[in-house]
């Protein structure tokens, strides 16, 4: 039986603790070392097969670049970075070194979302996308609402449509942000984010030629097509993220798709931030 992959974890906040629990429950993986602000020692000591970065996003790029430069596969929590040039620098180095690099847009790993995406071709071309996400209380103190919740919704749109928008704009109040994305072919995506909801909400509605498909997190029936519930397997998306990161490391399979999408998301959010 092969030895488990030795994963390092940088970041000791809430998401760092989530990752630690998930790694412990992932077959074939083990949490070898953790680090906080003194993260360079973790990379320099060697003996790790991959590293997960769950720090404030202001330092994501610096850590990811150091890991890739050392040839260590890296999984970066969202938001990938808060700066387009930094995101592109990580992407470019990953491509040049062919080091596994993933961005943790966890909603892309939701089984219900993946089932929705598989069903899309049966229902004709996408005509519009609408989403709502948020919850009670303020967003993270280190990340604006646009970048915190918006990273997920923008990632879902770009992944669904396989393209970046021709236009991106946003309007905001103290507790809400509304994004408007225009894609080729007249497809419009309207995304609403709020930190003033009574409970956590995440809903994605995809209007196609012949039916509307809806993915809702935090509810019993997570997927419906034309108003009818579609059974899907349930699994925490973070479990899928870590499992697929470990699988990519084991296969030494460099695939630029995740980091390219990460760059696309940062570009859209940066454009929306300028337009608010």
Distance between CA 164 and CA 142 in Å, rounded? 26
What's the pLDDT at 1?
Answer: 66
Pairwise CA distance, residues 114 & 118, whole Å: 6
Beta-carbon neighbour count of residue 246 at 10 Å? 22
Number of Cα atoms under 13 Å in the Cβ half of residue 112: 24
List the beta bridge partners of residue 192: 132, 178
Residue 119, CB half-sphere, CA atoms under 13 Å: how many?
Answer: 23
> What string of pLDDT tens digits covers the 276 residues of the chain?
678 999 999 998 888 999 999 999 999 999 999 999 999 999 998 899 999 999 999 999 999 999 999 999 999 999 999 999 999 999 999 999 999 999 999 999 999 999 999 999 999 999 999 999 998 876 677 789 999 999 999 999 999 999 999 999 999 998 999 999 999 999 999 999 999 998 899 999 999 999 999 999 988 899 999 999 999 999 999 999 999 999 999 999 899 999 999 999 999 999 999 866
Quote the pLDDT of residue 112. 97
Q: Could you tell me which residues come within 8 angstroms of residue 53 by beta carbon, excluding any fewer than 6 positions away?
A: 10, 11, 60, 63, 64, 67, 74, 75, 76, 77
Q: Which token pair is 77?
A: 């929590």
CB 192 within 8 A of CB 154: no
The pLDDT assigned to 143 comes to 87
Note the pLDDT of residue 20.
Answer: 97
Domains located in the chain, CATH noted? 5-105+239-254 (3.40.50.720), 107-235 (3.30.360.10)
Q: What pLDDT, on a 0 to 100 scale, did the predictor assign at position 141?
A: 76
């Amino acid at each position: 039986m092969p030895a488990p992959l030795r994963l390092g974890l940088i970041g000791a906040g809430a998401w760092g603790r989530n990752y630690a629990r998930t790694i412990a429950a992932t077959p074939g993986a083990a949490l070898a070392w953790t680090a906080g602000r003194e993260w360079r020692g973790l990379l320099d000591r060697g003996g790790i097969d991959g590293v997960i970065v769950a720090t404030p996003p202001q330092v994501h790029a610096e850590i990811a670049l150091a890991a890739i430069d050392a040839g260590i596969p890296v999984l970066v929590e969202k938001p990938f970075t808060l700066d387009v040039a930094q995101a592109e620098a990580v992407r470019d180095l990953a491509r040049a070194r062919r080091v596994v690099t993933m961005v943790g847009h966890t909603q892309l790993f939701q089984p219900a979302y993946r089932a929705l995406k598989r069903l899309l071709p049966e229902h004709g071309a996408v005509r519009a996308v609408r989403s709502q996400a948020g919850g009670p209380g303020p967003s993270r103190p280190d990340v604006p609402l646009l970048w915190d919740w918006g990273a997920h919704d923008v990632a879902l749109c770009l992944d669904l449509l396989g393209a970046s928008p021709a236009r991106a704009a946003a309007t905001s109040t103290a507790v809400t942000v509304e994004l408007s994305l225009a894609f080729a072919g007249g497809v419009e995506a309207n995304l609403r984010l709020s930190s003033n909801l009574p409970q956590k909400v995440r809903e994605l509605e995809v209007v196609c030629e012949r039916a509307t498909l809806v993915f809702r997190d935090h509810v019993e029936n997570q997927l419906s097509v034309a108003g009818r519930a579609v059974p899907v397997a349930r699994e925490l998306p973070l479990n899928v993220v870590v499992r697929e990161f470990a699988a990519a490391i084991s296969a030494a399979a460099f695939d630029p798709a995740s980091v390219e999408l990460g760059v696309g998301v940062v570009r859209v959010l940066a454009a929306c931030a300028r337009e608010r």
